[in-house]
Structure 1
Amino acid sequence: MIKIGDLLDNTYVIEARIGSGGSGIIYKAYHTRLKKNVVIKQIKSELRGKINERSEVDILKNLKHTYLPQVYDFITDDDDIYTVMDYIPGLSLLEELKKRRRFSQKKVIKWGIQLCEALSYLHSRSTPIIHSDIKPDNIMLTPEDNICLIDFNVSLLFSNDVNVVGFSEGYSPPEQVSIFNVIDRMTVPRKTADKNSDTVFLELNSGRPSSNIKQTKCKIDIRSDIYSLGATLYHLISGERPENSNIDIIPLDSYNIKIGHSLKQIISKAMNKDIESRYETIGDMQYDLNNINKHDYLYEKKVRRKRRLLIYIGLFILLIFIATIIFILIK
């Protein structure tokens, strides 16, 4: 176990413990060679053996995208495994939700498009990278008001192993929940969770057959990420985390929020329980988000009406102010 002040791999000075999640403990550290802060995540002991081949690890190190953190290193030290990546100043969208309750449609669309760009980049790799744990807690908001999608340890854990699966309540799609439930029913599974995280990992004990999992006919693919993105946008616009995917989702119409019909349709399609009825690719979803204002006439009409009302109120106040000044001068 590393401690504050330790020098890891003769490069990283551990400065503070800043959090923990379903797959490990998170530290803020200083990179002595690059002269910058980084994030170091220590993989939990129960999951260390599930990090796959080094070639797959190197794939993550080679990722470079505006809305993804740069992964610098994977370190093995005394049987512990650490991932090192960019430190993103600011709060997660979950922390922002706790402060602000919900966000405007304009912001949700902007961040939704940015997330689509990041996921499109991941999904288009020669070996597609499925994030598998998209949720507000794994999305940082930068000082420039842009997003950064973090926590790739989960994609490493899921990449080839049907005996380990994670589950984030409200954000995981039905196919992911089904695999999770199969493992949960099998003999003596090991659970890995954290009181500060809503992600739970189940790992089937070594030697147990995985045939039951394969027989579920459930497969996690890029459309699983699309569901989780839809669930994330649902939370951002409504202020409420959606129900588990095996329960009927409360319609967005049930909330007293300003949202256009087109955005509701996009989120609903992304969150369809039937994987075949969702967007086929993240690019298809991004196209609809990019073109939402061309179709969402009602919402735009409401926005323009509100804008005109504010202008009229401002002009009315200005006229009263001018009339008051004139009255005082004449008097």
Structure 2
Amino acid sequence: MEVLKSGEIIESRFRIDELLKTDSRGATYKGYDVVLNKICFVKEIFNYHVTLRQKRDAKRKFDLEARHLSELRHKKLTRIMGYSGTDERCYLVMEYIYGYDLNTAFFKEAALSFPQEKVILWMMEVCEVLEYLHGQYEPFIFRDIKPSNIMINELDGTIRLVDFGIAHTLEVDTEIKPELRGYNAPEIEDEKPDVRSDVYSLGATMYNLLTGVVPMPPQIRRLSDLNSDVSPKVHDIVMKALKLNPEDRFQTVRELHNELLKYGASINGSIHTESIDILMANLNQGDISIRKSAIKSLGELDDDEAIGPLINTLKEDPDPLIRKEIVMALKNYKEDIVIKAMCDAFKVEDNPEVRADIINILGDFKAREAIDLLIAALKDPFAAIQLESINALGNIKDKKALDPLFDLFKDEKFVFREEVRVSMDKIDSKFVKLWEETEEKAKAGRSQNRSLIMVASIVVALILSLVLLKVIPDFLNAKKVKENLLQGETLLENKDYKTALPLFDEVINRDSTNARGYYGRGICNINLNKIKTAVEDLEKAVKLDGGNPDYKISLGMALLLNKNITDAITQLEKAMEVKKDSPEAYLYLGRAYYANKEEDKALEMFNYCVSNYPKTDFALESNNWIAIIRDAKHSSSPGGFLKELNKAKTCLYSKDYDRAIQMFDDILRKNPTEVEAIFGKGMAYLNKEEYNQAKTFFNQVLSLNFNHVSSCIALAGISSKEGEYSKAIDYCTRAISNEAGRSEAYYIRGIAYHNIGKKQEALSDFKKFIEFALPGDPYVNEVKSWIEKIEGGS
């Protein structure tokens, strides 16, 4: 096809001034926006499809993706100013960048390759943009990363990513184009790109900038063979990104970015300062995975600049998983300030796992300053903390610990008696032996003659045998209880309640007075919707250990779910007298007050939760309750908001979808962020089979509540209908990870797996569906038929 001529006008607005470059897919021009009086880039893409229907289908795909692009905003991403086209050509208009691309930089700087520090700084900027694109609700795969699409803005020296890989929407085949060969990942040719495809392209770009050579698979020469100045670390980063199998690469751009940041922070110069600053800034990100990654990287750096920010985050972050990650990161910094921070943190920390980790590290540090704290921790109710304290005191080797350790050793039923002896031997290898020898002499001194000694020996032997027969089973029983508790609590953290439940059952069967066992089983039963059983378990946990506020909070939640409102309020108020920094307690107490018609008290709890714990799911749910209460207060009739919502839902269930949409709209005019109204509107459009409208509202729900299970399932169903089975699987997986008992999620995911040829995964999901399906579910017979077909090999 012919390129445009200078002076031609597109859409009565964009004038073509100069042809900048062409390739097999189209051309790029310097243009001018005659409306805004601004210079712009115009990307022209040829539509090579043959039939009119194919051309128009491709054009629709282009318009959809271009609209998505136009909504993106990032300081290092070229902004889309407009898009248009015909059945033959499409146009993407982008803001003009005053600068030059990295391909041109080779010629501009007369370089065969660039220094690795400069390349790393450039690539860290590109990673920022790609993380933004991949972090969209539907991740955007750039597909077209190469030096000529990365520009240096001469006005501020920053990097800009240009020329989105949108041309693929108009391509007839998936064969990698000549101008992209070496930069595109192999899986793109198979139409299976994902975020790891951009990782490959980023690796190929780094390879080219460091060597001047484009990597050509399948035989890619080692980077160090072409540029001996490249450090081993940078060589390994680039070559890992270039692995032909996506499973062997960095799995996300964030992983690659963190490796670059760690390397940058480990060397001198401006790159060191910039890398450290970025990692420190990431400590305050809302995304927990970004915070964890930054913490891990700062810990591995062993740079004193990181100590202060890590300690501050340890003090302030409400998430125990983050605090645990920080404690492990600080393990690399054996400084007095770190030891003091660890001791201070232990005194206020309420999470047993974090407390145990702190003790472990104080022991590794041999921190004598912590000796009193560790001795006191020997009496902690959590076994893991006791064990770590015993080991830590052995490592520190302070004789002050001998007497409290010896008190434990004398108790032959103590679970960790052998560990206590090992620690005592580390402190004073003769202490236990002298005691044992003294005991033996005392026994011998009481014996008057050989016959009496023999009789005494026989008696002692018999007694010892009886004791051992009792002690060994008790010891083994206690050890098994400890193992089950630790394993069950780990499963609770991973939300695998079904697997955890039998472990806690066994704990209780072995030790009917174990409060932790009842607590763990209670949490499992809450999440498996066995509320009455959960109440019974948690009542026993509170009875056995009334001083633990977490037990009371969970009991309060279970009572609330069981509609025992007054008892729920009592338990939650008692818990908050002891533990005032629990966001879940404020949420549950607010809900209990609201159920008890004490709306002012409920608002006080919800507002406190939102104000003091803004980054938590509890704050998000509290916000929703605040909206419900305020709407109800301002309604002309009692319970107005809920009444309106119920009326709208009634219309929805009665299949009066247009009326339901109108009523949900009335609610949203008063409260635009009311999740249930937005969801209801999405369901109305779904039932009208207006899938694009439905998706819009379900996605809006997820932007307000990322883990809204019903929206995930609805989007999964739409994706499956549209043949987007990978999306359907992702949505169902997210739903199941938050609510494992939703049978419809297993049904949709099973169908999706079957349609992409993963029959064993489909079989597993169909069996899960049968397990969780309610009596009378209309899909049971269909699913049983699927199971028979798969097991029969058809």
Amino acid at match of 1:76: G
Contact (CA 8 Å) 1:129, 1:155: kept in 2 or not? no
Partner of 2:230: 259
Report matched runs for 1:305-316 at 5 Å. Answer: none
**1:245 counterpart SS class:** coil
| Equivalent residue in structure 2 for 1:164, among 174, 182, 201 | 174
Contact (CA 8 Å) 2:66, 2:166: kept in 1 or not? no
Structure 1: how far apart are the matches of 2:168 and 2:202? 20
Between Structure 1 and Structure 2, the one with more strand by share is 1
Partner of 1:226: 199
Sort the Cα spacing of 1:95 and 1:104 in 2 relative to 1 into closer, same or farther, 3 A.
Answer: same
Query: Is 1:271 equivalent to 2:242 in the alignment?
Result: yes
Query: Is 1:101 equivalent to 2:126 in the alignment?
Result: no
CA displacement 1:105-145 (0-9 Å, x = unmatched):
11101111011111111111111111112111221122133
Contact (CA 8 Å) 2:120, 2:264: kept in 1 or not? no
Partner of 2:134: 123
CA displacement 1:273-321 (0-9 Å, x = unmatched):
1210111110111111111145569xx9xxxxxxxxxxxxxxxxxxxxx
Partner of 1:287: 258
Shift of 1:35: 1.7
Partner of 2:40: 38
| Most deviating of 268-277 and 39-48 | 39-48
Structure 2: how far apart are the matches of 1:109 and 1:23? 30
Shift of 1:86: 1.1
Query: Is 1:65 equivalent to 2:74 in the alignment?
Result: yes
Partner of 2:14: 12
Structure 2: how far apart are the matches of 1:271 and 1:65? 27
Contact (CA 8 Å) 2:45, 2:167: kept in 1 or not? no
Sort the Cα spacing of 1:58 and 1:145 in 2 relative to 1 into closer, same or farther, 3 A.
Answer: same
Sort the Cα spacing of 1:44 and 1:162 in 2 relative to 1 into closer, same or farther, 3 A.
Answer: closer
Amino acid at match of 2:213: E
**1:83 counterpart SS class:** strand
Structure 2: how far apart are the matches of 1:91 and 1:293? 25
Q: TM-score w.r.t. structure 1 length? A: 0.70
Partner of 1:212: none
Report matched runs for 1:111-190 at 5 Å. Answer: 111-143=122-154, 144-152=156-164, 154-155=165-166, 157=168, 163-167=173-177, 168-177=180-189, 179=190
Structure 1: how far apart are the matches of 2:4 and 2:206? 36
Structure 2: how far apart are the matches of 1:137 and 1:83? 17
Partner of 2:5: 3
Sort the Cα spacing of 1:60 and 1:165 in 2 relative to 1 into closer, same or farther, 3 A.
Answer: farther
Partner of 1:85: 94
Structure 1: how far apart are the matches of 2:24 and 2:160? 19
Contact (CA 8 Å) 1:56, 1:156: kept in 2 or not? no
Q: TM-score w.r.t. structure 2 length? A: 0.31
Shift of 1:17: 1.2
Shift of 1:176: 2.6
Contact (CA 8 Å) 1:158, 1:164: kept in 2 or not? no
Contact (CA 8 Å) 2:48, 2:88: kept in 1 or not? no
Shift of 1:256: 3.8
Contact (CA 8 Å) 1:262, 1:296: kept in 2 or not? no
**2:124 counterpart SS class:** helix
Shift of 1:78: 7.7
CA displacement 1:202-239 (0-9 Å, x = unmatched):
xxxxxxxxxxxxxxxx7211101100100100111112
**1:287 counterpart SS class:** helix
Amino acid at match of 2:208: H
Structure 2: how far apart are the matches of 1:165 and 1:60? 24
Amino acid at match of 2:45: I
| Most deviating of 258-267 and 111-120 | 258-267
Shift of 1:162: 9.3
Contact (CA 8 Å) 1:140, 1:147: kept in 2 or not? yes
**2:74 counterpart SS class:** coil
| Equivalent residue in structure 1 for 2:217, among 214, 230, 245 | 245
Deviating beyond 6 angstroms after TM superposition, the runs of 4 or more aligned structure 1 residues are: none
Partner of 1:306: none
Between Structure 1 and Structure 2, the one with more helix by share is 2
Structure 1: how far apart are the matches of 2:88 and 2:131? 34
Task: Give percent identity, aligned residues only.
Answer: 31
Shift of 1:245: 2.1
Contact (CA 8 Å) 2:76, 2:160: kept in 1 or not? yes
Shift of 1:53: 5.7
| Most deviating of 82-91 and 225-234 | 82-91
Contact (CA 8 Å) 1:171, 1:245: kept in 2 or not? no
Structure 2: how far apart are the matches of 1:30 and 1:158? 26
| Most deviating of 40-49 and 55-64 | 40-49
Q: Which has the higher contact order (CA 8 A, sep 6+)?
A: 1
Structure 2: how far apart are the matches of 1:280 and 1:78? 38
**2:207 counterpart SS class:** helix
Shift of 1:158: 5.0
| Equivalent residue in structure 2 for 1:22, among 24, 28, 31 | 24
**1:72 counterpart SS class:** strand
Sort the Cα spacing of 1:39 and 1:162 in 2 relative to 1 into closer, same or farther, 3 A.
Answer: closer
Contact (CA 8 Å) 2:243, 2:249: kept in 1 or not? yes
CA displacement 1:8-61 (0-9 Å, x = unmatched):
222122211111133211111111222210011221131665340633321101
Amino acid at match of 2:149: N
Between Structure 1 and Structure 2, whose CA radius of gyration is higher?
A: 2
Contact (CA 8 Å) 1:260, 1:296: kept in 2 or not? no
CA displacement 1:84-110 (0-9 Å, x = unmatched):
001122222112124322111111011
CA displacement 1:56-87 (0-9 Å, x = unmatched):
32110111112211011111258532110011
Sort the Cα spacing of 1:256 and 1:229 in 2 relative to 1 into closer, same or farther, 3 A.
Answer: closer
Sort the Cα spacing of 1:174 and 1:7 in 2 relative to 1 into closer, same or farther, 3 A.
Answer: closer
Amino acid at match of 2:183: Y
Q: Which runs of 5+ in 2 are unaligned?
A: 50-54, 272-794
Contact (CA 8 Å) 2:146, 2:201: kept in 1 or not? yes
